[in-house]
Chain A
Amino acid sequence: MTAVANAPGPAAPAPAPSPRIFRYQRQERRFALLLFTPALVLLIATTSAPLVYLLWTSLMRIDLTMPYLSGFAGVENYAKMGGDPRFWNSLLLTLIYTSTTVVLQVVLGLSLALLVMQIPRGQTVLRIAAILPIVLAPVVVGLFWRTLLLSPDFGLVDLVSRTLGFGSHAWLGDPQLALVSVIAIHTWQWTPFAFLVLLASLASLPPDVFEAARIDRANAWQRFRRITLPLLRPAIVIVVIMRTMIALSAFAAIFAATGGGPGTATEILNLYAYRTSFTEFNLGYGAALAAVLLAITLVISFLMFRMRRGR
Chain B
Amino acid sequence: MKRAFARRFALAASAGMLLSIWGFPVLWALLTSFKTERDVLAYPPKILFEPSLAAYRDVLFGASSIVPNLVSSIILSLGATLLTLLVAVPAGYALARLGLPAKRTSGFYVLATQMLPPVGLIIPYYLVLQKVGALDTYVGLIVIYLTFSLPFAIWLLVSYFEDIPREMEEAALLDRAGRLRTLWYVILPQVRGGIAVTIVFVFLNAWNEFLFAVVLGGNRVRPVTVAMFNFISVEQTRWASLAAGAMVAMGPVMLLGLIAQKHIVKGLTVGAVKGGGRR
Binding site for B on A (CB under 8 A): 2-7, 25, 27-29, 31-36, 38-40, 42-43, 46-51, 53-54, 57, 112, 115-116, 118-119, 122, 126-140, 143-149, 153-154, 156, 159, 188, 191-193, 196-197, 200, 238, 241-242, 245, 248-249, 251-252, 255-256, 270, 273-274, 277-278, 283, 286-287, 290-291, 293-294, 297-298, 301, 305, 308-309
Measured CA separation A134–B123 after assembly (Å):
27
Which residues on the B side are within 8 Å of A255 (C-beta)?
Answer: 210-211, 229
Measured CA separation A6–B98 after assembly (Å):
15
By beta carbon, the residue of chain B nearest A300 is B115
- If A3-B181, A53-B128 touch, does A294 touch B272 (CB 8 Å cutoff)? no
Which residues on the B side are within 8 Å of A308 (C-beta)?
Answer: 276-277
- If A29-B100, A29-B101, A293-B119 touch, does A140 touch B250 (CB 8 Å cutoff)? yes
Q: Are B178 and A39 in contact (CB under 8 A)?
A: no
- If A43-B113, A143-B242, A249-B117 touch, does A188 touch B21 (CB 8 Å cutoff)? yes
Q: Are B179 and A31 in contact (CB under 8 A)?
A: yes
Q: Are B15 and A126 in contact (CB under 8 A)?
A: yes
Task: Identify 29 residue pairs between A and B in the complex whose beta-carbon atoms are under 8 Å apart, listed by A's number.
Answer: A31-B94, A35-B90, A36-B95, A36-B106, A43-B146, A46-B150, A50-B128, A54-B120, A54-B121, A112-B19, A126-B15, A129-B23, A130-B19, A134-B264, A135-B250, A137-B210, A137-B225, A139-B228, A148-B28, A148-B32, A156-B24, A200-B265, A238-B276, A273-B120, A274-B211, A283-B126, A294-B117, A294-B120, A308-B277
- If A7-B178, A39-B150, A287-B123 touch, does A297 touch B116 (CB 8 Å cutoff)? yes
B74 at the interface (CB under 8 A from A): no
Q: Are B178 and A115 in contact (CB under 8 A)?
A: no
Give the contact-size bracket for chain B: 35 or more
- If A32-B98, A38-B90, A144-B246 touch, does A197 touch B265 (CB 8 Å cutoff)? yes
- If A46-B146, A128-B258 touch, does A53 touch B265 (CB 8 Å cutoff)? no
By beta carbon, the residue of chain B nearest A151 is B239
Among B98, B116, B276, which residue has the most Cβ atoms of chain A within 10 A?
B116
Among B21, B26, B87, which residue has the most Cβ atoms of chain A within 10 A?
B87
Measured CA separation A294–B176 after assembly (Å):
49
Which residues on the A side are within 8 Å of B242 (C-beta)?
Answer: 143, 147
By beta carbon, the residue of chain A nearest B278 is A309
Q: Are A51 and B261 in contact (CB under 8 A)?
A: no
Binding site for A on B (CB under 8 A): 8, 11-12, 14-15, 18-26, 28-29, 32, 40-41, 43-45, 87-88, 90-91, 93-95, 98-101, 106, 109-110, 113, 115-128, 143-144, 146-147, 150-151, 154, 176-181, 204, 207-211, 215, 225, 228-229, 232, 239, 242-243, 246, 249-250, 253-254, 256-258, 261, 264-265, 268-269, 272-273, 276-277
Which residues on the B side are within 8 Å of A46 (C-beta)?
Answer: 121, 143-144, 146-147, 150
Number of A-B contacts (CB under 8 A): 287
Which residues on the B side are within 8 Å of A133 (C-beta)?
Answer: 22, 26
Q: Are A57 and B232 in contact (CB under 8 A)?
A: no
Q: Are A39 and B90 in contact (CB under 8 A)?
A: yes
Q: Is the interface of A mostly helix, strand, loop or mixed?
A: helix
By beta carbon, the residue of chain A nearest B45 is A159
- If A54-B123, A148-B239 touch, does A3 touch B180 (CB 8 Å cutoff)? yes
Q: Are A140 and B87 in contact (CB under 8 A)?
A: no
Q: Are A132 and B23 in contact (CB under 8 A)?
A: yes
- If A42-B150, A131-B264 touch, does A149 touch B25 (CB 8 Å cutoff)? yes
Which residues on the A side are within 8 Å of B124 (C-beta)?
Answer: 49-51, 53-54, 57, 287
Q: Are A140 and B225 in contact (CB under 8 A)?
A: yes
Q: Are B94 and A35 in contact (CB under 8 A)?
A: yes
- If A38-B87, A39-B150, A138-B210 touch, does A28 touch B98 (CB 8 Å cutoff)? yes
Q: Which of B119, B150, B272 contacts A290 (CB 8 A)?
A: B119
